[in-house]
Chain A
Amino acid sequence: MSAPNPTPSRGPQPGLSLIAYYLQLGWRSLRRNPVLTALMVIGIGLGIAASMTTLTVLHLTGADPIPWKSDRLHYVQLDNWSAEQPARDDGSPPDQVTYRDAMALMSARKADKQAAMFKLSLPIQPENRELKPFQALGRVTYADFFAMFEPPFQFGAPWNRDQDEGHARVVVLTRALNEKLFGGQDSTGRSLRMNDVDYTIVGVLDEWKLRFRYYDVTNGAFADPDEFFMPLTTAVDLKQRSTGNNSCWQSPGDGWEAYLNSDCVWLQMWVQLDTPARLAEYRDFLNSYVSEQKKLGRFPRPLNNRLLDVNQWIVDQRVVSRDMEVQTGLAFAFLAVCLVNTIGLLLAKFTRKAGEIGLRRALGASRADVFRQFLVESGVVGLSGGVLGLGLTALGLVAVRALYSEYRSVAQLDWTMVLTTIALAVVSAVLAGLYPTWRACRVQPAAQLKV
């Protein structure tokens, strides 16, 4: 008998080269059974695509639209509603303010910046005779709007506070409207006729990548985008009524002046407050303002003002709808079904490989080696499913954009989502592969080698 030898150990760093070997084997094994492989890859691909399509819309919808200042922009709500019943069932104040209150807050100038606004649709009468008159959607607001929400300018600049005061007949166009009317040329200084009134163009916006119109959620965060902007003072001067939502808890009475003085809410009021101290001061100011109004017989309800920031407002208004969350849940349930199917197929595939497993064990593979090999093979299935799923997700988003035009700005794949897709596919497949792999490495080598 020869001298006892220590148990031989493996050479240096066999782990990494073995993983490369397993990847190679996994890839070959996929090609070996094209039908089974296709079934698994299609299953995972479909599940992934369904999940990622809905998740992408959900992710981009819920994301902060203006991360660098969303905590400084606040939406003002004042509870001027009836003593008998609240504006909303949960007791929260109405989601817009009255003209009187908006004017009072604007002239008080207690915030760092402030902009009341409403939605207005006007007929445009182009200079260019080849274009027929058409209706355009606009935003009627104050000069501060541009400093608060920061749309980029291609030509010119916003109007100024003096022009707000002076009811100036000025307008800012979006890039799209400027393209349509002036072929994309610098149109500042030129005149635009809207509803028989001439306005001077002072600025043209550049492409404004607004995923949704968070500054006017009340009139639909995903509704058609605004095409022009003009001073609110000018629009009121010309007695232009909002084409957005209007709610009243009592009759406004007859005539334009009565409407302006009524308790009907139809304006959105935003303020920019640059520090927490300014926020606290503004809260106090609102409370004292409402207390003053109570003395005049308005605001019959208990004090109920709110100052939500952009993200709080998005959540409060359910911009991410319940439907969207349910759809995403269902899509993930579908992915789970696809994975259960993959577990079955992997089980069948690995069971057929019992002979090879026994052989590899006999030739020196440990249980852990077999476990790693088959887990890597599952991962390769997942990776292939992920690549297919990515393609299908892109198609799914094309379909979402085609079917729901309001989601066109959020139904886009970004890098986070591409990486999430691949990672989700690989992790799902590896999870699906755990049980079949565990079964595979339980194979008794001796039982498989007698043929």
Chain B
Amino acid sequence: MLRMNHLSKVYRTHLIETHALRDFSIHVREGEFVAVTGPSGSGKTTFLNIAGLLETFSGGEFFLDGVDVRGLDDNARSRLRNAKLGFIFQGFNLIPDLNLFDNVDVPLRYRGFNAAERKRRIEESLTRVGLASRMKHYPSELSGGQQQRVAIARALAGSPRLLLADEPTGNLDSLMARGVMELLEEINRQGTTIIMVTHDPELAARAQRNVHVMDGQVTDLDDEPRLRQPQEAAPARREATATGVTA
């Protein structure tokens, strides 16, 4: 699903070079739930931004669902992001002017689906996170946990192959955090690959696999995936995950 080989990322200012990632290699297989942990400034957010095609990288290789990402222009990366990736942010990042229906609609608009298809997907994904009855509400009328559920619905509406979550429970109290985490686990059980960045060891422990990042390098790779039994996943997907381990 996601493979990075000897990836590097250098930020340059006129005075100094900062190596945010160096010789960074990781392989995430289809259907996995991977937690990326590490202290602040270790490079885990840079990794997530590059994985999400929001930033370019300086060296190495990166394949996303088989597509070589090097050399893709801005437009192609936008389309790839739109079709294959879903994002969940710590700050939810809902658009305050839009109601829940229209917020979930945003990625679908860029996908070019017709109105009926968009409506079907929006209703389906809001139902999945338990907020179908509040479609006409605005984000400010919801609790933090509910807002994060909307963000998850938005990420799911386009049927992404890979869900990228950046501290998804960071702004939530423990009760709401548990609810969101259970939702993510359920989504993963239904077949969606998830990469979650967190510095909460308790949360990381609930993922199938932990990748620890330190000084821009993967230092501790728990490379024996304990796959959950997917409830609805096609057998082909399980076969795909059984191949190749990188470290």
Contact = CB atoms under 8 A, between A and B. Distances in A.
B154 interface: yes
Contact of A12 (B67, B110, B112): B112
Contacts of A362: 52, 54, 81, 87
B110 A359 contact: no
B10 interface: no
A209 interface: no
A365 B110 contact: yes
Contacts of A363: 81-82, 87, 106-107, 110, 154
Interface residues of B, number: 48
Contact of B91 (A6, A365, A451): A451
B111 A364 contact: yes
B84 interface: yes
Contacts of A368: 75
How many of chain A's residues touch chain B, expressed as a range? 35 or more
Contacts of B80: 7-8
A446 B93 contact: no
Contacts of A355: 93
Interface in A16-66: 17-18, 21, 28-29, 32
A2 B161 CA distance: 12
A1 B1 CA distance: 6
Contacts of B97: 28-29, 32
Interface string B161-177: 00000100001000000
B32 interface: no
A233 B160 CA distance: 95
B166 A7 contact: no
B219 to A, nearest CB: 23
B90 interface: yes
Nearest to A11: B112
Contacts of B244: 1
B14 to A, nearest CB: 19
A187 to B, nearest CB: 68
A366 B66 contact: no
B220 interface: no
Given A11-B113, A18-B109, A449 B79 contact: no
A9 interface: yes
Nearest to A449: B89
Interface string A378-393: 0000000000000000
A12 to B, nearest CB: 7
A9 B93 contact: no
Contacts of B158: 364
Contacts of A4: 66-68
B209 interface: no
B243 interface: yes
B65 A5 contact: yes
Contacts of B106: 359-360, 363
Interface of A: 1-14, 17-18, 21, 28-29, 32, 355-356, 359-369, 444-446, 449-451
Given A4-B68, A363-B110, 18 more contacts: A2-B66, A5-B66, A6-B67, A18-B110, A360-B110, A362-B81, A363-B81, A363-B82, A364-B110, A364-B158, A366-B110, A367-B78, A369-B110, A445-B54, A446-B52, A449-B54, A449-B89, A451-B91
